[in-house]
Amino acid sequence: MAAIRLVGNGEKPDGAGKLGLPPVAPVLYNAFFSATGKRIRTLPVDLTKV
């Protein structure tokens, strides 16, 4: 298991933590398809219509 160490340096935080966010939606939608066999093809997602 990888360890993360935070080191304070007095600099303002930048947007490096946002890099992992864009792939989240496709991963969730593919998991939904794998579980249900139904594709989500429109955004925003309305689960009552799926």
What pLDDT sits at residue 11?
80
Per-residue pLDDT tens, the chain, 50 aa: give them.
678 887 888 887 776 666 666 778 888 899 999 999 999 888 888 878 77
What pLDDT sits at residue 34?
96
- Alpha-carbon dihedral sign for residues 38, 40, 44, 49: negative
Question: Is there a contact between 39 and 33 (Cβ–Cβ < 8 Å)?
Answer: yes
What pLDDT sits at residue 9?
84
What pLDDT sits at residue 30?
93
